[in-house]
Structure 1
Amino acid sequence: MTVLTQTMILFILILIGFIIKKKNVISDQMIKDLSGLILNVTLPFMMITAMNYSFSLEMLNNSVLTFIYGAISYGIVIIIAIIFNKVFKPDEPQKGVYSFLIVFPNTGFMGFPILKAMFGDIGIFYGAIYNLLFNLLTWTLE
């Protein structure tokens, strides 16, 4: 199955979800429950499954490089967020929201499935390495 086909399947699933929500087939509580299931159960299991590789020096080197490139990219988007807030001068409550939106991508619902579609389990493996910074910064960046 090609990457384009798999990506189209993901977008079709999103469209189906949009339609069934518009038609009130599912409730807001069910959406919340399904989101919790995906974020707290299925994504962690997908990452654990993706970690099932034999150790190699090449994977260690690639993991370190992924982490370093991730740190550089987060540094760049943090600078962009600072510049955005200086240029557009949003009010204080919105300032933090804009910064968060600029710095942190939605890697949970779409990022990992797209990595899986494009690169297989190894994509999930390296995505999880990159996502370490996401988790660290989400809980510590002020």
Structure 2
Amino acid sequence: MSFTSVALQMLTVSLPILLGWCIAKLGFMKAEFERELSHLLLQVALPCLVLSSALGDDVTLPSIADTFSLMGLSFVMYVVATVIAFAVTAALRVPKGTECSYRFAVLFGNAGFIGFPVISAVLGKQALLYASIALIPPNFLMFTVGVMLFSGISGGLKTQMRNIAACCKSPGLIASTAVLGIVLTGWTDWGVLGDSISIVGTMTTPAALLLMGSSIAKYRPLEMLTNWRAYAAVAFRLVVVPVACLAVARLWPGMTPMFIATLVLDMAMPVGSNGTLYCLQYGKDARPMMQCTFLSIICSILTIPLVATLCG
């Protein structure tokens, strides 16, 4: 993968984002419509896209050993990212009460909502299958460790079990688990049902990119650009964490270049949008989280081709 070829792919992805920004500014995408469209994508279209990655005669399924190796490496990458996230927060001396936002920003990228369209555009459908498998451990971590960053551990075992139960009901996780079942059984031919699922899944990428652009339109640029700590956190999220994970992946036995590129690009995505929701839910200051999210979306247009080139 050359920097130029990936940059052209990112430019292709960026133009719908720009269109989403324009139509939001023109008033064509109201807040209520965005909420409903986002709900539709997360609950229906994105799971269909995940499922479709493992369906069809042209799909090459990884072996069972490779499947569990992908999941294991994905988990290890998030352990590495966790260590980096806590170290960065300590080094930046962030104001008390905002540590959770910076830790979340460094640790969790938008691997599903943004990651799937980008990985599909840059690496193709086969990489989307690998990403779906690798997403299973991070999904559990997002709804357990991610929530604990904001809520603390005062809720005890009952609260954490509730978070795990909520994670198990996530359509995205259910779809990823179904993909794991498809890989283990080798049943990729779902006939007309599989074709229908693929049709619904195709709406994910354009709709997600338009929504990303409309979400950027809501931010006040000057307010989003004045926090130096957000720049540091975003640099670690988009560059340092993926490079560290790349080093780990190259030491992991049995990893092909495509496996490595898929997992590392997953770690190079912008800050996860759940962070802002968690801030609001647990009464934290959402501004640092929003600043990190905004900067990461803008900067990722340049950093993702850089990381892809390093993987190449």
TM tier, smaller: 0.7 to 0.9
Question: Residues 45-90 of structure 1: CA distance to partner in whole angstroms, max 9, x if unpaired?
Answer: 0111112268x88432222221122112101110011111222232
Cα offset, 1:4, TM superposition: 5.5
Q: CA distance change for structure 1 residues 43 and 95 in 2, over 3 Å: closer, same or farther?
A: same
Q: CA distance change for structure 1 residues 111 and 58 in 2, over 3 Å: closer, same or farther?
A: closer
**Residue 77 (1) aligns with residue 81 (2):** yes
**Residue 12 (1) aligns with residue 15 (2):** yes
Q: What does residue 132 of structure 1 align with?
A: 136
What is the DSSP-based 3-state SS (H/G/I as helix, E as strand, rest coil) of the residue aligned with 2:98? helix
What is the DSSP-based 3-state SS (H/G/I as helix, E as strand, rest coil) of the residue aligned with 1:24? coil
Preserved CA contact (<8 Å) 2:86 2:103: yes
Q: What does residue 181 of structure 2 align with?
A: none
User: Equivalents in 2 of 1:25, 1:19: separation in Å?
Assistant: 9
User: Equivalents in 2 of 1:50, 1:120: separation in Å?
Assistant: 10
Cα offset, 1:3, TM superposition: 5.9
Preserved CA contact (<8 Å) 1:50 1:121: yes
Alignment of 1:25-44 (within 5 A): 25-44=28-47
User: Equivalents in 2 of 1:5, 1:84: separation in Å?
Assistant: 32
Question: Residues 7-51 of structure 1: CA distance to partner in whole angstroms, max 9, x if unpaired?
Answer: 433211111001111122211111111111111111100111112
Which one of 63, 70, 89 corresponds to residue 93 of structure 2? 89
Structure 2 unaligned runs (5+)?
A: 149-312
Alignment of 1:40-79 (within 5 A): 40-52=43-55, 58-79=62-83
Cα offset, 1:114, TM superposition: 1.8
User: Equivalents in 1 of 2:56, 2:96: separation in Å?
Assistant: 46
What is the DSSP-based 3-state SS (H/G/I as helix, E as strand, rest coil) of the residue aligned with 2:36? helix
User: Equivalents in 2 of 1:40, 1:129: separation in Å?
Assistant: 18
Question: What amino acid sits opposite 1:38 in the alignment?
Answer: L
The alignment of Structure 1 onto Structure 2 pairs a total of residues equal to 141
Question: What amino acid sits opposite 2:17 in the alignment?
Answer: I
What is the DSSP-based 3-state SS (H/G/I as helix, E as strand, rest coil) of the residue aligned with 1:93? coil
Cα offset, 1:119, TM superposition: 3.1
Preserved CA contact (<8 Å) 1:115 1:123: yes
**Residue 110 (1) aligns with residue 114 (2):** yes
Preserved CA contact (<8 Å) 1:70 1:130: yes
Structure 1 unaligned runs (5+)?
A: none
Q: CA distance change for structure 1 residues 78 and 23 in 2, over 3 Å: closer, same or farther?
A: same
The TM-score, its normalising length taken from structure 1, stands at 0.85
More helix by share: 1
User: Equivalents in 2 of 1:71, 1:138: separation in Å?
Assistant: 12
Question: What amino acid sits opposite 1:17 in the alignment?
Answer: G
